[in-house]
Amino acid sequence: MKRPLEGIKVLELGNFVAAPFSGKIFGEFGAEVIKIEEPEKGDSLRNWRIMHKGTSLWWYVHARNKKSITLDLRDPEGQEMVRELVKKVDVVIENFRPGRLEGWGIGYEDLKKVNPSLIMTRISGYGQTGPYRDKVGFGSVAESMGGLRYLTGFPDRPPVRMGVAIGDSVAALYAVIGTLMALRVRDNDPERKGQYVDVALTE
């Protein structure tokens, strides 16, 4: 039986949880997912939490159904390789701090020049615009600011961490939903114009 996202190609520039979780879902439903990892240590998720034979159990979950390659995005040669890959994909998903990819010449405005049909899905702590745009975003902080941690724990003690990375995971699900909507719009557009999807952990 053909899986629903077969034929869709995704380039994952994500690290740690949110973007890789989205990439995992795309891969599970048949998309071809190419994951970029930085040289030497790779994705931080490889060494996070419970380990099995030297590798994180989280990594085994988040990396399945993906093809991993190593590129140094800080290096002009690595940036050029990203532009070449973008010519062949439908979606780029990333979770760098806003402005980081633009500084490397591989932001949305740069990439849509080589692939006008590209959907770029961006996950960050506080979104691509607004007063907190440039602040460091992390799941635990976003869960607190978004009110999730207010709902956990006991009345006489501080809020406690939930059992899973819920802020990253929920944001990842919204990223997938937004990407699928953007693909639907593009595929119904005679000019097949792409767009970018902006997801904030705090939202």
Residue 1 or 28, more confident: 28
Select which of 72, 90, 110, 168 is catalytic. Answer: 168
Condensed to tens digits (0 to 9), the pLDDT of residues 48-89 reads 777 788 888 888 888 899 999 999 999 999 999 999 999 999
What is the predicted pLDDT for the residue at 143? 87
The dihedrals phi and psi of 143, each to the nearest 5 degrees, come to -60, -35
Query: DSSP readout, 32-68?
Result: EEEEEE-TTT--GGGGSSSEETTEEHHHHHHTTTEEE
What percent helix, strand, coil does the chain show, rounded to 5?
35, 15, 45
* Each residue's pLDDT tens digit, 148-186: 888 888 889 888 887 788 889 999 999 999 999 999 999
pLDDT computed for residue 151 by the predictor: 83
Is 168 annotated in the active site? yes
Q: Say what percent of the chain tops pLDDT 90.
A: 67
Q: What pLDDT, on a 0 to 100 scale, did the predictor assign at position 106?
A: 98
What would the two tokens of residue 14 be? 């994500």
At 15 the pLDDT is: 86
* β 195-200/51-52 pair status: unpaired
Q: What is the pTM of this model?
A: 0.92
Count the neighbouring beta carbons within 10 Å of the beta carbon of residue 162.
17
Averaged pLDDT of the chain: 92
Question: For 98-107, what is each residue's pLDDT tens digit?
Answer: 999 999 999 9
Question: What pLDDT shows up at residue 149?
Answer: 83
- Helical packing angle, 166-187 and 18-28, nearest 10°: 50
